[in-house]
Amino acid sequence: MKLFAVFSALFIAANAVPFIRQLDEPFAGKTWVVLAASANGWGNYGMQADVYHAYQVIKAHGIPDENIIVMHYDDLAKNERNPTPGVIVNRKGGPDVYKGVPKDYTGKDVTPQNFLAILRGDEKLAKAGKKVVKSGPNDRIFVYLDDHGSEGYVVFPNDKLMAQDLTDTLVAMHKDNKYKELVFYLAACYAGSMFDKILPNNINAYAMSATLPDELAVQFAVAWLNDSEHHDLTKETIKTQYDYIAHAFTDQHAQQYGDLSINAEHLSTYMGEKQVPSVGQYSQPANSVPIPDAPIYLAQLLLRNRELMDKQIEEYVNSLSGIEANVVLNSKLQINNKECYHKLVDTFHDKCYNLGQNSYAIQKMKVLGNICHSSDADVNTFNQLLTKYCDTIVKPNANII
């Protein structure tokens, strides 16, 4: 009996060592990375540049190309406005971040459907020769999406990714043992609304959003990329990076959602553990909006187009009966009728202005949300009037960014 007890103690001790050390040792699985910029056009230069920059950081830290999937419209390098054809930079005087970036999904393939299919390892895409995440129960997944957004969705060039569709995909992936843990970084206006009160905390998924559910985003990418380039990712935790980003600005507030225990892990688990020399000088991001260098007449055209859209939305609201136009146009009310809101947003997108091409329109969608403040809003009437109005208005030739 005593001999058995000694043997048992030795067995437990021997097996306890790897259990204790697994927090510090590499996990028995792969790391998959999905990087996506869902906006296109020269006016959205920064979004694709952020994703290119993220690719260079993660590749440098040791994640192999076979485990990285990049989605980007790819219309900047050869753009007629590009003063350095074939070169994309993401900071003044910085290196070319475009060189070597994979072209896994470009142009018309930049869709929310493909984005979700990539994550779940869609077999049809794989059979068509497209890269997808072929993950299993021991693998980690890191996702970075740089996008325009509004309450409950983010936009792609010709479509929208709804918060519920994203959550449903993550839940299904967890159920199908597609990952051990998943980390999702979202840089978009209203980014928090994609996860707030939606993302479960029991599916081993953690999300960091650039903003609160009702805030505009500016420099989330600047912060996390800057931080990742200047620290040892094998020692810095996700929480440490979150704390840095959350306090980097005064006009936007990063948030955390889902399984917050994951933020105790080191960044290297999701971004690579290879040691990389610090790049340039480490500096605190400024609270300012980066403005592309553009001729004055383009800025004037932009303002005129925005004023036109403002006027058109105001005219539509004033045509509705049974609502307080001033409140609808100048407030931020609770959306109590989501069916109404989604129907109006869809009609506006289909009939009035493509939200993926006219990013200024995204900021105005709160007006449609205010129209749907009442749970008994007259959905059909409001939608019919919007359809009719959209068919009659004059739209600018240029996109309203």
- Residues serving a catalytic function are 148, 189
In sequence order, the β-bridge partners of residue 203 are none
How far out from the chain centre does Cα 118 lie? 15
CB neighbours of residue 84 within 10 Å: 10
Q: What is the dihedral of CA 370, 376, 378, 382, to 10 degrees?
A: 20
Looking up tokens 């105790």 gives 264
Rounded CA-CA distance 275/281 in Å is 17
Left (φ > 0), alpha (ψ -120 to 50) or beta: where does 155 sit?
beta
Amino acid at 310: D
The DSSP letter of residue 243 is H
Token digits of residue 117 = 């299919």
**Residue type for 340, please?**
C
Let me know how long the chain is.
Answer: 401
* Residue 238 CB neighbour total at 10 angstroms: 22
Q: Which two tokens stand for residue 399?
A: 């996109």
What is the distance between the alpha carbons of residues 353 and 372, in angstroms, rounded to a whole number?
A: 19
Match 């999937």 to its residue by tokens. 69
Spacing of C-alpha 40 from chain mean position: 14
Helix (H/G/I), strand (E/B), else coil: 244 = helix
Inter-CA distances, 350 with 156, 231, 390, Å = 13, 45, 9
Reported as type and span, the H/E element at residue 318 is: helix 296-318
One-letter amino acid for residue 289 of the chain: V
> Strand pairing of 148-150 and 153-156?
antiparallel
Quote the strand ranges of 237-318, DSSP E: 255-258
Contact of 191 with 210, CB cutoff 8 Å: yes
Helix (H) or strand (E) holding 116: helix 112-120
Compute the distance between CA of residue 363 and CA of residue 358 in angstroms, rounded to an integer.
10
Cβ atoms within 10 A of the Cβ of 303, count? 10
